[in-house]
Amino acid sequence: MATERRTPVPWSHCNDLDVVTFILHSSGLTIDLYPEVAQIDLVLLSKLLLRSSVRVYSPTANCFQMADGEFVNGSDDNQDVAPSSKKSGRASLLDSGEDFTMLDDVDDDVDDDLPPLEDAGGGKKKDSPAKEATKADQTPLEQEEWLDVLGNGQLRKKVLEAGAGPDSRPQRGQNVTIHLKTTLTDGIVVEELPNLSFTLGDGDVLQVLDLTVQLMEMGEKALVEAGAKYAYGALGSSSPAVPPDADLILEVQLLSANDAQDLELMPPSERIILANRKRERGNVHYQRTDYAFAINSYGIALQITEATSRVDISQQEEEELLDMKVKCLNNMAAAQLKLDHYEAALRSCVSVLAHQPDNVKALFRKGKVLALQGEYAEAIKTLKRALKLEPSNKTIHAELSKLVKKHSEQKGAEQAMYKKMLGNPTNTSVQKHRAKSSWSLSWKWLFGATAVAIGGVALSVVIAARN
C-alpha cells in the first residue's frame, strides 16, 4: 500500500500509554494494543499474520511505524480502517485517539479507599514453572501453531477448530457471542459461560477477549494463554475466584457477530439500560484502579446518553438520560483526577454544573481541581458554595479549612517576596518620615530662637531711646 514518506519520527515521541492500533491491510483486521506494543517485532508479526503489511499508529504523536521500522509523520488518506465501529452510530473512545495515556467517591456505591495505582501484573512477567514446562515439551511444529498476538509471549492463541475464513472475522463495535471456558494453569476451572455476549472493543470484558476475539473466524474454536496483566491482574478476582497475578487458559468459540443497533433508532428505555451498563463497567475498572479503562467506559456511556433520537421520547426518559449523563461526567472527573488530568477533570465538572448548577459533587471536585492548579481564591469560593448546599458535610469542611490555610500561607509568601524585591519599602518610608520630621523640628526651633533674639534686641533699643 502506497503512503507518503515524511520526516522520520523517533518511537520515543509516541506515548506508551496511547492505545495503539495495528492495521493489517490485506486481511482488513484491526487490533487494539497497549504499552507492550514497544516490544513487538513488527516484521515477525507481519509474517505470522498472512504476511500482511503492518503499521502502527499512535494517536497522540500522530506518527506511523511501517513494517520496515521507518517512522513517518501524519495520517494516510488511504487508511483502511474497518467501518464497523461506526455502525452503532458512535465511535469508541479507543478509536478516537482519546489520551488515556486510564473523586472522593464515584456515584452509586463505588468505594474510593483503594490501593495505590499499579500496573495490573507489572511489566514483562516471567512465565510460571508450569507454563515454562509446557513450552519446553512442545515440538517446534507445535510452537509454530501458536500465534504470539503481542510479540511479548504474554498473549498466545492457537486454533483448535478452523472457522469460516478471514472474511468472517468480527469487527470492533459489533456485538459478539462466544462460548467461554476459563481455567487456571493448574487445570482448575474458573468459570464456563456458554453464551457470553459483549460489544467488541468497548472494554466490557477482559483485555484478553477484546484482543483475541477480533482474530477469530466465525465458528472457530481457539485456545488462548493469557498473562495476568491481560486477565485479572495483580488484584485477582473474588467472582470468579482468581488468585492475584494468575495466568489463565481460555477456550473460546465464536458463535455470532452482529452489527450494533443504531443509537438514533434505539428506544430510549433501552438506551438508558445500555448507558447504565457501560457506566457500571466503568465503576468496575475504577474499583480496580484501572482509571484509563474507567474513563473509556464512562465516555462510551456518555455517547449513548448524548445521541440524538429519531423515535419518540418522554419527558421522564429525557430526565433519566440527563441524570445518567451527569453521573457519568461526575465519575469521569473522579477518574481524571486520579490520573492528574486536571484540565479534563475541570471540563467534566463544568459540564455537570451546566446541567445541574447545585451539584455538590461537581462543585467539590471543581474546587479540588482549582486548588491543585493554584487557584486558591476561586477554589475557596467554589467550596463555600458547596458547603452552603451541604453545611454538615465534613469532607467539604476539611477541604475548605485546608485551602484557607494554604491560601493564607501563599499570601504571606507573596508579601515577603515583594518586600524582598522592593528592598523592604515599608521600613525605608518610615525612616524617611522620621528623618523629615527631625529636620522640620530643628528648623522650627531655630526660627523660634531667632525671633526671640530679634525681639529682645528691638525692645532694648526702644527702652534706650526713651531714656
Q: Is the pLDDT score of 152 beyond 80?
A: yes
CA distance 297 to 281: 6
pLDDT band for 405, please (50, 70, 90 cuts): confident
CA distance 274 to 422: 63
Q: Is the pLDDT score of 45 beyond 50?
A: no
Q: Is the pLDDT score of 381 beyond 70?
A: yes
Q: Is the pLDDT score of 155 beyond 50?
A: yes
Q: Is the pLDDT score of 15 beyond 70?
A: no
SS3 at position 228:
helix
pLDDT band for 41, please (50, 70, 90 cuts): very low
The pLDDT, as a whole number, for residue 449 is 63
Q: Which fold has domain 145-260?
A: Chitinase A; domain 3 (3.10.50)
Ranges 117-121, 234-238, 245-249, 417-421: which has the least confidence: 117-121
CB atoms near residue 113 (< 10 Å):
5
Q: Is the pLDDT score of 233 beyond 90?
A: yes
pLDDT single digits (tens) 264-316: 999 999 999 999 999 999 999 999 999 999 999 999 999 999 999 999 999 99
* pTM over cut 0.75: no
CB atoms near residue 353 (< 10 Å):
17
DSSP run (H or E) holding 43: helix 42-48
Name which residue leads in pLDDT, 206 or 420: 206
Pick from 177, 197, 205, 214: which is nearest to 85 by CA? Answer: 214
Q: Is the pLDDT score of 436 beyond 70?
A: no
Burial 5-42 (b: 16+ CB within 10 A, else e): eeeebeeeebbeebbbbbbbeeeebbbbbbbbbeebeb
Two domains, one topology: 102-129+262-356 and 145-260: no
Pick from 374, 407, 370, 372: which is nearest to 385 by CA? Answer: 370
Task: List the chain domain ranges.
Answer: 1-77, 102-129+262-356, 145-260, 426-467
pLDDT single digits (tens) 304-337: 999 999 999 999 999 999 999 999 999 999 999 9
The pLDDT, as a whole number, for residue 63 is 39
The pairing of strands 20-24 and 71-73 is: unpaired
Q: Which fold has domain 102-129+262-356?
A: 1.25.40
Name which residue leads in pLDDT, 53 or 230: 230
Question: How deeply is 453 buried, as exposed, middle or buried, from its count of CB atoms within 10 A (0-12, 13-18, 19+)?
Answer: exposed
